[in-house]
Amino acid sequence: MRLQASLSDSSFLDRWGGPIGLGLTFFMLSYTVGVVPPIMPPLVQEFDSTVGYVQSSLVLMSLVTASFAPTAENVSRRLGRKWVFNGALALFGLGLVLVVLSGDMGLFTLGLAGCTGLAASVLVSTPVALMDGRYQDEVIQKYALLALTLAGVVGSLTGSILGGVLAFHLGWRWPFGLELGLIPIIAVLAWPLLRHQPTSSIVVDWVGGLLSVVGFGCTLVGLSLAADLGWWTPKGSPETQGFWLAPLGISIVPVLLAAGMICLGLLAFWERQRIRRGEESLLRVGVLNRRIYALGLAIGTLHTLLHVGVQFNLFQFIPAVAGLNPVQTSLVVAPLTLAQIGVLVALAKRRPRQPHRSLLQWGLGIKALGILWLWASLKDQLTLISLMPALVVMGLGTGIFATYITSLTFTDTQDNEKAEARGVYRPFQNLGASLGRGILGTLLVGIASVRIVDGILAELGQTLDPAQRRQAIRTLQTALQTLRRSDRQALFTTLPDAVQPALPDILQTAALEAMQHTLLIAFGLCLLCLGLSFWLPKTSKRLEAAIE
């Protein structure tokens, strides 16, 4: 109570404490997602797990948040934001504690995907609703929402840098442990904005929310685990994997996919019955059932998938070819993020004369040009300076796209649906980010592993039967994803002396070819976004603050 009173007596904290607390909330959420990729190697090693399982935890976390965000907004309005928000902070803290204390992937997933994912559904929508209520002026409100977006960008960048440093020097649990200190600070700072929030009577569709989480969760987790467990025939011996990974002698993947499809079918039937009875359907699907919103959501998520996938691969590729540590690599990749932030800030106040859709398409075109430029920059004599122009161009295109995709997506949403619309949109971007790391990241390591194994065999003048070759590629892929650089170098020193002189060139060529292949895939996805954008409206009545 004394601490709260002291905050009230302070003019600065009384004016800015609440917005700072909401910004720290977005910082904390993005930090949690950003910290997982750099800690994967020690995490996978300690749990004797795979990258696919960790990626599935991230996907499931984003999915839980996206599925329950609108329902959480309804609960916040019905029960009062102050109790629901503080309860979500407590649940988020419990999730972090479970992650820190986890001894296996099960408890880690429960803490990350279950507790923090569910809590994030409240922590995403509430800051947007409170900013809307605090600032009535449209320009000030837009800057306030942009500040939340920038807080999220900085949080993700901080997580990727700090997470890697702490994980390899102190242990992967430390980044989550330090994050616990933000929770009481956020609770104290945000309290003045929460205590006078009104309540309302809204019916919540709990069954629809549960079916959506289970349906989408089983489907996406099944897709994430397919590379590790097999699409139908289980990889490895079914007898040693246990019933849960190989039920009835087949992989768990088709079982998860079938369960997901069944739950999604039940979801469609359930929502149709609610609509016929005149009841509110899933998660107040006023935004989810609208074609423009759904199309913009799909384009934004697809763009995030390719953007984060390329960025994640740069963090894998640059250390492999240049021998940089995580902090040095972050500095090399920083122009991509800095250019994006610069464009977001520069365009925040401008009301362009050109149609918003045309500007968005220009952004996608610039992004595609930057990807091709980066592809052309990957040569045998690679220099880090040669990557900078392409990264800046990609950042410029990303900033332009992010500025206008939100406005076009929200074209047919009402003012009272903004918190819900943003509450759905942001977690779907996290979902796209998780899938980008999983898909493009796995492709990078997989292609590199194939090239390395084939290059070594060619240098030795040997061949392997297909089964042995697949096993060698799978073993190398696991080593590249889980071992430190020094451990990987020690592994390569065990190869025959005859291959050692050519090994640096083999590794360099494999890394370059793998990165080029994934960039071409990202280029194709960018063109797909560009094609889908022609179905968006030409312009929007109101220029919304960017979310990405």
Residue 1 above 60 pLDDT?
no
Residue 324 above 50 pLDDT?
yes
Same domain for 156 and 267, yes or no, is no
Give the Cα separation of 495 and 219 in Å (integer): 40
Last residue of a domain, one of 174, 200, 226: 200
User: What pLDDT shows up at residue 358?
Assistant: 94
**How sure is the predictor about 223, in pLDDT bands with cuts at 50, 70 and 90?**
low
List pLDDT tens digits, range 44-76: 778 877 766 777 787 778 777 766 766 676 677
pTM for the predicted model, two decimal places: 0.76
Same domain for 220 and 75, yes or no, is no
Same domain for 170 and 95, yes or no, is yes
Query: Can you give the CATH number for the domain in which 132 is found?
Result: 1.20.1250.20
Residue 237 above 60 pLDDT?
no
User: What pLDDT shows up at residue 148?
Assistant: 79
Q: Are 300 and 66 in contact (CB under 8 A)?
A: no
Residue range 253-271: mean pLDDT, rounded: 82
Residue 284 above 60 pLDDT?
no
List pLDDT tens digits, range 146-182: 777 788 888 887 887 787 778 777 888 999 998 999 9
Q: Are 159 and 34 in contact (CB under 8 A)?
A: yes
User: What pLDDT shows up at residue 136?
Assistant: 60
Tokens of 403: 């500025």
Q: Among candidates 408, 388, 371, which has minimal Cα distance to 337?
A: 388
Whether 212 is in a domain gets the answer: yes
Whether 544 is in a domain gets the answer: no
Burial class (CB in 10 A: 0-12, 13-18, 19+), 13: middle
Same domain for 193 and 221, yes or no, is no
List pLDDT tens digits, range 81-137: 778 888 999 999 999 999 999 988 888 988 988 889 889 888 887 887 777 666 666
Residue range 401-425: mean pLDDT, rounded: 77
Same domain for 84 and 177, yes or no, is yes
Q: Among candidates 405, 209, 406, 412, which has minimal Cα distance to 291?
A: 412
Cα of 232 vs its chain's centroid, Å: 28
Residue range 219-223: mean pLDDT, rounded: 71
Same domain for 172 and 267, yes or no, is no
Whether 429 is in a domain gets the answer: no
Same domain for 459 and 484, yes or no, is yes
Whether 118 is in a domain gets the answer: yes
384 compared with 363, residue with greater pLDDT: 363
Whether 85 is in a domain gets the answer: yes
Q: Are 314 and 534 in contact (CB under 8 A)?
A: no
Q: Are 113 and 427 in contact (CB under 8 A)?
A: no
List pLDDT tens digits, range 348-358: 767 778 899 99
Last residue of a domain, one of 152, 181, 200: 200
User: What pLDDT shows up at residue 3?
Assistant: 42
List pLDDT tens digits, range 489-522: 777 888 888 888 888 888 888 989 999 999 999 9
Same domain for 5 and 37, yes or no, is yes
Residue 17 above 90 pLDDT?
no
Same domain for 474 and 491, yes or no, is yes
Whether 452 is in a domain gets the answer: yes
Whether 531 is in a domain gets the answer: no
Same domain for 158 and 222, yes or no, is no
Q: Are 145 and 134 in contact (CB under 8 A)?
A: no
Same domain for 193 and 245, yes or no, is no
Same domain for 89 and 176, yes or no, is yes
For residue 210, the SS3 value is: helix
Last residue of a domain, one of 253, 282, 311: 282
Whether 47 is in a domain gets the answer: yes
Q: Write down the mean pLDDT value for the chain.
A: 79
CA angle 479, 480, 486 (to 5 degrees): 85
Cα of 265 vs its chain's centroid, Å: 27
User: What pLDDT shows up at residue 535?
Assistant: 93
Residue 234 above 80 pLDDT?
no
Amino acid at 76: S
3-state secondary structure 293-357: HHHHHHHHHHHHHHHHHHHHHHHHHHHHHHCCCHHHHHHHHHHHHHHHHHHHHHHCCCCCCCCHH
Task: Determine the structural domain holding residue 234 and report its residue range.
Answer: 206-282
Domain count, the chain: 3
Residue 288 above 80 pLDDT?
no
Amino acid at 129: A
Q: How many other C-beta atoms lie within 10 A of the C-beta of residue 95?
A: 24
